[in-house]
C-alpha cells in the first residue's frame, strides 16, 4: 500500500493532504512511497472520478488533434481505420515526426520493412533520427517487448491485419487474432501509462476489419476516408485529393468531430478548412474510393 510523506518532517498519511503538512505546517510537497495494489488503482467513487482531468498530448498535427479533442491520452489506444491508399500510414508518420520533439515514439510495421517506412518519411519531409522504425514485424509480443525496452511513449502498430498473438490460434487477420493483438496492446498501454495507435483496414462495405470486439474494447475509433458525393462540408472532391478524418468513438473526448485533409503533390497530408462550422455527421457511412 502506498503512503504520502512530507519532504520536510517525514510525516506520512494514506492520502495526500491539501495545503500545509498536518504535522510541521510546512508547505513542502509530499512524495509517494510504495505501490498501489491493482484493487486500489481500479477503485474510486463517482465524485472522485468526476473531478479527474484528462491530460491530452498534442501530436502537433492540427486537424488530427482537433478530432481527438486535444490529442493523445496516456493509457489509451486509438483504432485508426481507413481504405487502402487513403493515407493512414502517411498521416501517422507525419504525426510521429512532430511528436518526437517532445516524446519518445516508434513506428512498428507488419506490412513493410523499416526502409519502406523510411521512404514514406522521406517523401513527406519527416526524416529525423528520433523516430524509431521497426519493419517486418509479426508477433505482437515481440514488438511490445522492444517497445517496453525502449520505454516508448507512443507506438503506431501498422497494421492489425498482419499482426498475430501467441494467445490466439486463429489465422492472421481473423477476428480471434485481431482481438488478441488489440488486448495485448491495450494491456501494455494501461500498465505503463503510454499510448498506441493501431492502424486498421476497411472492407469495401465500409466496416473495419478485425471484428467488432476490437472496436468495443479500444478507447477511440477514428477513420480516414473519402467524403461522400453529397458532403456539403467537403472543401473539394476526390479529384482534389480530399480526405475526411472523423472520430466515431472517443472515451476521452467528443465524438463525430471531423477534419479534412488534402494529399499534396509530394504525397503528404495537409489540413484544409471545411465549408461550414457543422461538426455532426451520421456514423458509419463512408464512401470507398475505387
**Is the pLDDT score of 150 beyond 60?**
yes
CA-based radius of gyration for the chain: 21
Which of 20-29, 122-131, 136-145 has the weakest average pLDDT?
A: 20-29
Find residue 105's DSSP bridge partners. 131, 154
Give me the helix-helix angle, 175-192 and 140-150, nearest 10°.
Answer: 20
Percent of the chain surpassing pLDDT 90: 60
Q: How confident is the model at residue 277 (pLDDT cuts 50, 70, 90)?
A: very low
Q: How confident is the model at residue 278 (pLDDT cuts 50, 70, 90)?
A: very low
- Can you give the pLDDT at residue 10? 72
The model's pLDDT over 78-92, given as tens digits with 9 standing for 90+, comes to 999 998 889 999 999
- Can you give the pLDDT at residue 288? 40
**Is the pLDDT score of 286 beyond 50?**
no
- Can you give the pLDDT at residue 53? 75
**115-137 mean pLDDT:** 95
- Can you give the pLDDT at residue 21? 82
The model's pLDDT over 98-117, given as tens digits with 9 standing for 90+, comes to 999 999 999 999 999 999 99
Q: How confident is the model at residue 211 (pLDDT cuts 50, 70, 90)?
A: confident
**109-134 mean pLDDT:** 95
- Can you give the pLDDT at residue 289? 39
Which of 167-171, 200-204, 238-242, 267-271 has the weakest average pLDDT?
A: 238-242
Alpha carbon separation from 96 to 90, 121, 128 (Å, rounded):
10, 10, 10
- Can you give the pLDDT at residue 142? 98
Q: Give dist(CA 235, CA 271) in Å, integer.
A: 11
State how far Cα 30 lies from the chain centre. Answer: 32
**Is the pLDDT score of 262 beyond 60?**
yes
Instruction: Look over the chain and give the mean of its residue pLDDT values, rounded to a whole number.
Output: 85
**Under 8 Å between Cβ of 3 and 33:** yes
- Can you give the pLDDT at residue 194? 95
State how far Cα 157 lies from the chain centre. Answer: 10
**Is the pLDDT score of 233 beyond 80?**
no
What is the set of domains in the chain, with CATH numbers?
Answer: 3-50 (no CATH), 62-272 (3.40.50.300)
Amino acid at each position: 500500500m502506498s503512503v504520502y510523506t512530507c519532504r520536510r518532517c517525514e510525516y506520512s498519511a494514506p492520502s495526500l493532504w491539501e495545503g500545509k503538512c498536518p504535522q510541521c505546517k510546512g508547505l513542502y510537497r509530499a512524495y509517494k512511497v510504495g505501490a498501489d495494489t491493482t484493487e486500489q488503482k481500479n477503485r474510486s467513487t463517482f465524485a472522485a472520478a468526476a473531478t479527474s482531468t484528462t491530460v491530452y498530448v498534442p501530436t502537433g498535427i492540427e486537424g488530427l488533434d482537433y478530432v481527438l479533442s486535444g490529442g493523445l491520452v496516456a493509457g489509451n489506444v486509438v483504432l485508426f481505420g481507413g481504405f487502402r491508399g487513403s493515407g493512414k500510414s502517411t498521416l501517422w508518420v507525419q504525426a510521429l515526426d512532430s511528436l518526437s520533439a517532445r516524446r519518445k515514439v516508434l513506428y512498428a510495421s507488419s506490412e513493410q520493412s523499416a526502409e519502406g517506412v523510411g521512404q514514406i518519411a522521406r517523401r513527406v519531409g519527416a526524416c529525423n533520427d528520433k523516430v524509431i522504425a521497426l519493419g517486418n514485424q509479426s508477433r505482437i509480443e515481440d514488438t511490445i517487448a522492444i517497445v517496453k525496452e525502449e520505454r516508448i511513449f507512443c507506438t503506431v502498430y501498422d497494421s492489425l491485419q498482419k499482426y498475430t498473438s501467441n494467445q490466439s490460434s486463429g489465422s492472421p487477420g481473423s477476428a480471434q487474432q485481431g482481438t488478441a493483438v488489440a488486448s495485448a496492446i491495450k494491456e501494455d498501454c494501461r500498465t505503463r501509462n503510454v499510448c498506441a495507435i493501431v492502424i486498421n483496414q476497411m472492407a469495401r462495405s465500409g466496416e473495419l476489419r478485425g471484428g467488432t470486439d476490437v472496436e468495443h474494447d479500444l478507447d477511440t475509433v477514428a477513420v480516414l476516408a473519402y467524403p461522400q458525393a453529397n458532403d456539403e462540408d467537403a472543401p473539394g472532391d476526390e479529384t482534389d485529393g480530399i480526405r475526411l478524418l472523423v472520430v466515431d468513438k472517443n472515451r476521452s473526448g467528443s465524438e463525430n468531430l471531423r477534419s479534412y485533409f488534402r494529399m499534396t503533390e509530394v504525397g503528404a497530408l495537409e489540413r484544409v478548412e471545411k465549408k461550414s462550422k457543422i461538426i455532426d455527421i451520421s456514423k458509419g457511412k463512408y464512401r470507398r474510393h475505387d
